[in-house]
Chains A and B, each alone.
Chain A
């Protein structure tokens, strides 16, 4: 993989999720080590063993809001770890002065004395960007910096990027929005499956060509930004069944009152896999969480099998037959210390309880049967789940819901981080569950996955449904819908 960034230029990095962008950033910021090859800075080969080392060499990346301390002031966060000092004490006036200076590029700079916790998500992101800029880095990596920003703030950001470019900073700009790339970038590199498939000047290449490079030629979009195509014959043949789960205009707000998603409607029938996709920040995974009662709705309503459905807790959703598979496998999927058998039986403990006691033998047998069906390897119910690979952990979770007998299965990023074989296994399992009559909603930011799996797909952008793809779902269609749908366009 080659990537040459010239000082004083903005270099866009494109690629679908999973194309290798994140790994590249991790290597450039010293968070991960390359297996082969070298990084040169100003022509000199460098080794970046830690994030700190990378920073000292002038490479800065905009991390997410996670790297801000909410209870400290904006000024302190900007210079955290390197507070200006006078004698042994913090030089507050210098700190605030420098913070004001650093924040001056913003149309409405936050008060340096304000605590980060009081800021909106967008403002936090701007602080984060400001921090990277304020480090006077030579290479600045911006990973989807506009995800939480409004158009006005995006414009400002672009102005700053241009001035940085004029100062000789090399900017690596990662975005899914092709219009942004055209507006700000000088050069563009497209990654696919970890390999560079295109590099050139932005002015020399069309959007269509870039999309084609991102998805691969054989999957080029068939139409230009369709909202919805005419319904074709459904492959599974069961879609005529009445919908099991209905969402009507559901809307949810985050803590600062911005919508996580807005006015989302869909119907999910038994025996169907509905894909829900969209770029970073599109709101797709929040929709999935709302179905399980994890994100409160502020408007709209849901129906399950004709009855009103408004789960307030996972327990309630499960009792109604709706199960959820989180994208955070380590945090919300398996219990790592517990044996596989316990991880499978957790949702059906009454089923293996006889007169108040657990029937360990029955539990083990039940788990052994399910993990064999799910294809967990090794098929050992006694092994701690945490020792399995990610793919097998996911199969354990699916075995849990197979045993539970959920009617509706909601999955977030079901194969994130898995190799091709494991991915295929999970997909096969999901198709089988569909054929057995389950209604499945898959949220994934990998367009291929949706194309491969879904009978029908909704594309979300900026919290709203940007379009629907019926019939044969292709990655190209999804990407085309997602890339060109600007918030303004959708509202119109």
Chain B
């Protein structure tokens, strides 16, 4: 499959999912429901592009759900205290960036595996969210939140506009920023990146930081839609965001993906939830569906991966023959007995 076709795959999946739900879910294929989905998907899309950036380094962030809870509480508290919407955004994004920076520091500089680093953050942030909020939703948000959560502009929810802007910005970031190119290089071939002077640790750090900040931004939308800061927010968000990114063509192995694709993936995931809901499926079985969706997404990606890149086929066998002297940088450092 050519690269262009592969990049259009998320849109294809979106179309298939839409056509599949239209006949079975009453009220699914209506303009009102489309706007509804757009509003629901907006925060997920923002989290997903952040997650996608981390996935592109070859890592992942499973703390996004808890960090969303912490930042939604932080933002709401700040809004209640100052009455200012801007200070809420600032507080949430800043808190998210700090969490992301902690993840990035642990992964990039301390060499802790992404699972463990973000798992620790998952527990920490959840605890902090409950602690800060006194385990109760933070209420009394200024009216600006309501207009963000349920306002519309040109028939499209305000939140969706925000998400659209973020996705566009992140796509531009991915294409134009040297740091984002470094992210792809690190995820694609860390050895090559290092040999060519790419600052590997810093690049990882930035990716997690940006992801955290974006989660903070999404948390404001979550707060706006709930009209409160929910400390229990974000269960399953790590799963949804990873599934969305993978559906959107972001490689789990790192080094490949598009931001708009990830966002389309988020729409697919959101549409799935919406469609299953309208079809009358128990909300609990929707969790089952979410898990299966993730597996399907990964399977789909595997099916799209050229066979020589998959784990099943050991590329080392074939490649080594081409250049037996092909030494990774580790070996260039010299641990032969001869040296």
Among A283-291, A358-366, A484-492, the stretch in contact with B: A283-291
Q: Which residues of A contact B175 (CB under 8 A)?
A: 90, 92
Contact assessment for A69 and B322 in the assembled complex, using a CB-CB cutoff below 8 Å: no
Contact assessment for A280 and B255 in the assembled complex, using a CB-CB cutoff below 8 Å: no
Contact assessment for A148 and B192 in the assembled complex, using a CB-CB cutoff below 8 Å: no
Q: Mark B304-339, 1 if CB is under 8 A from A, else 0.
A: 001011000011111111111111110011101111
Contact assessment for A71 and B321 in the assembled complex, using a CB-CB cutoff below 8 Å: no
- Given contacts A85-B178, A118-B3, A260-B321, A67 and B192 within 8 Å (CB-CB): yes
Contact assessment for B325 and A81 in the assembled complex, using a CB-CB cutoff below 8 Å: no
Q: How far is the CA of A191 from the CA of B332 in the complex (A)?
A: 20
- Given contacts A76-B181, A80-B196, A22 and B325 within 8 Å (CB-CB): yes
Specify the chain B residue showing the minimal Cβ separation from A56: B197
* Interface membership of A320, Cβ < 8 A: no
Q: Which residues of A contact B329 (CB under 8 A)?
A: 51
Q: Which residues of B contact A311 (CB under 8 A)?
A: none
Q: How far is the CA of A287 from the CA of B185 in the complex (A)?
A: 33
CB distance from B186 to the nearest CB of A (A): 9
Q: Looking at the complex, which one of A26, A67, A143, A254 makes contact with B322 (CB distance below 8 Å)?
A: A254
Q: Which residues of A contact B181 (CB under 8 A)?
A: 72, 76, 83, 90
Q: Looking at the complex, which one of B185, B320, B326, B337 makes contact with A390 (CB distance below 8 Å)?
A: B337
Which positions in B face A, CB cutoff 8 Å? Answer: 3, 175-178, 181, 184-185, 187-189, 191-193, 195-198, 251, 255-256, 306, 308-309, 314-329, 332-334, 336-339
* Interface membership of A389, Cβ < 8 A: yes
Contact assessment for A286 and B189 in the assembled complex, using a CB-CB cutoff below 8 Å: no
Q: Which residues of A contact B317 (CB under 8 A)?
A: 286, 289, 294-295
Contact assessment for A70 and B188 in the assembled complex, using a CB-CB cutoff below 8 Å: yes
- Given contacts A71-B184, A90-B176, A285 and B324 within 8 Å (CB-CB): yes
- Given contacts A285-B320, A289-B317, A69 and B337 within 8 Å (CB-CB): no
- Given contacts A26-B332, A31-B334, A417-B337, A69 and B325 within 8 Å (CB-CB): no
Contact assessment for B321 and A89 in the assembled complex, using a CB-CB cutoff below 8 Å: no
Q: Looking at the complex, which one of B188, B333, B334 makes contact with A69 (CB distance below 8 Å)?
A: B188
Q: How far is the CA of A280 from the CA of B176 in the complex (A)?
A: 40
9 interchain pairs, CB-CB under 8 A:
A23-B338, A68-B192, A70-B188, A80-B193, A90-B175, A117-B309, A147-B323, A285-B324, A294-B314
Q: Looking at the complex, which one of A26, A68, A143, A295 makes contact with B189 (CB distance below 8 Å)?
A: A68
Interfacial residues of chain A within 1-54, with CB under 8 A of chain B in the complex: 18, 22-23, 26, 31-32, 51-52
* Interface membership of A391, Cβ < 8 A: yes
Q: Which residues of A contact B318 (CB under 8 A)?
A: 254-255, 260, 286, 295
- Given contacts A32-B334, A71-B255, A283-B321, A88 and B177 within 8 Å (CB-CB): yes
Contact assessment for B184 and A31 in the assembled complex, using a CB-CB cutoff below 8 Å: no
Q: How large is the interface on A (under 10, 10 to 19, 20 to 34, 35 or more residues)?
A: 35 or more
Q: Which residues of B contact A445 (CB under 8 A)?
A: 324
Q: How far is the CA of A22 from the CA of B175 in the complex (A)?
A: 38
Q: Which residues of A contact B197 (CB under 8 A)?
A: 52, 55, 80-82
Q: Which residues of B contact A295 (CB under 8 A)?
A: 317-318
Q: How far is the CA of A281 from the CA of B3 in the complex (A)?
A: 30
Q: Which residues of B contact A147 (CB under 8 A)?
A: 322-323
Contact assessment for A280 and B323 in the assembled complex, using a CB-CB cutoff below 8 Å: yes
Contact assessment for A281 and B322 in the assembled complex, using a CB-CB cutoff below 8 Å: yes
Residue from B187, B321, B333 with most neighbouring chain A CB atoms (10 Å): B321
Residue from B193, B333, B338 with most neighbouring chain A CB atoms (10 Å): B338
CB distance from B183 to the nearest CB of A (A): 11
Q: Which residues of B contact A283 (CB under 8 A)?
A: 321
Q: Looking at the complex, which one of B256, B308, B326, B339 makes contact with A32 (CB distance below 8 Å)?
A: B339
Specify the chain B residue showing the minimal Cβ separation from A418: B337
Contact assessment for B191 and A80 in the assembled complex, using a CB-CB cutoff below 8 Å: no
Q: Which residues of B contact A422 (CB under 8 A)?
A: 337
Q: How far is the CA of A80 from the CA of B255 in the complex (A)?
A: 14
Specify the chain B residue showing the minimal Cβ separation from A77: B192
Q: Which residues of A contact B336 (CB under 8 A)?
A: 390, 417
CB distance from A252 to the nearest CB of B (A): 8
Q: Which residues of A contact B324 (CB under 8 A)?
A: 280-281, 285, 327, 413, 445
- Given contacts A66-B192, A286-B317, A445-B324, A89 and B177 within 8 Å (CB-CB): yes
Contact assessment for A70 and B189 in the assembled complex, using a CB-CB cutoff below 8 Å: yes
Q: Which residues of B contact A92 (CB under 8 A)?
A: 175-176
Q: How far is the CA of A395 from the CA of B12 in the complex (A)?
A: 55
Known: A31-B332, A66-B192, A90-B177. 10 other contacts (CB 8 A): A31-B334, A32-B332, A65-B323, A65-B326, A80-B192, A89-B177, A254-B318, A295-B317, A389-B337, A391-B337
CB distance from B55 to the nearest CB of A (A): 13
Q: Which residues of B contact A23 (CB under 8 A)?
A: 338-339
Q: Which residues of A contact B193 (CB under 8 A)?
A: 69, 80-81
Q: How far is the CA of A445 from the CA of B321 in the complex (A)?
A: 12
CB distance from B322 to the nearest CB of A (A): 5
Q: How far is the CA of A65 from the CA of B332 in the complex (A)?
A: 14
Contact assessment for B323 and A281 in the assembled complex, using a CB-CB cutoff below 8 Å: yes
Residue from B192, B251, B319, B332 with most neighbouring chain A CB atoms (10 Å): B192
Contact assessment for A280 and B325 in the assembled complex, using a CB-CB cutoff below 8 Å: yes
Interfacial residues of chain A within 56-96, with CB under 8 A of chain B in the complex: 63-72, 76-77, 80-83, 85, 88-90, 92
Contact assessment for B195 and A255 in the assembled complex, using a CB-CB cutoff below 8 Å: no
Q: Mark A384-405, 1 if CB is under 8 A from B, else 0.
A: 0000011100000000000000
Q: How far is the CA of A112 from the CA of B334 in the complex (A)?
A: 34
Contact assessment for B255 and A65 in the assembled complex, using a CB-CB cutoff below 8 Å: no
Q: Which residues of B contact A328 (CB under 8 A)?
A: 316, 320
Contact assessment for B315 and A417 in the assembled complex, using a CB-CB cutoff below 8 Å: no
Specify the chain A residue showing the minimal Cβ separation from B198: A81
Specify the chain A residue showing the minimal Cβ separation from B191: A66
* Interface membership of A204, Cβ < 8 A: no
Q: Which residues of B contact A286 (CB under 8 A)?
A: 317-318, 321
Q: Looking at the complex, which one of B198, B309, B322, B333 makes contact with A31 (CB distance below 8 Å)?
A: B333
Q: Which residues of A contact B319 (CB under 8 A)?
A: 65, 254
* Interface membership of A419, Cβ < 8 A: yes
Can you list the 7 inter-chain pairs with the closest CB atoms, starting with the nearest?
A81-B197, A81-B196, A64-B326, A89-B176, A255-B308, A69-B188, A286-B321
Residue from A18, A31, A118, A445 with most neighbouring chain B CB atoms (10 Å): A31
Q: How far is the CA of A80 from the CA of B196 in the complex (A)?
A: 6
CB distance from B142 to the nearest CB of A (A): 34
Q: Which residues of A contact B185 (CB under 8 A)?
A: 69, 72, 76, 80
Q: Mark A88-122, 1 if CB is under 8 A from B, else 0.
A: 11101000000000000000000000010110010
- Given contacts A67-B196, A71-B256, A286-B317, A148 and B184 within 8 Å (CB-CB): no
Contact assessment for B325 and A64 in the assembled complex, using a CB-CB cutoff below 8 Å: yes
* Interface membership of A144, Cβ < 8 A: yes
Q: How far is the CA of A118 from the CA of B333 in the complex (A)?
A: 30
CB distance from B314 to the nearest CB of A (A): 7
Q: How far is the CA of A345 from the CA of B87 in the complex (A)?
A: 65
Q: Which residues of A contact B326 (CB under 8 A)?
A: 64-66
Q: How far is the CA of A421 from the CA of B196 in the complex (A)?
A: 38
CB distance from A102 to the nearest CB of B (A): 15
Contact assessment for B184 and A72 in the assembled complex, using a CB-CB cutoff below 8 Å: yes
CB distance from B250 to the nearest CB of A (A): 11
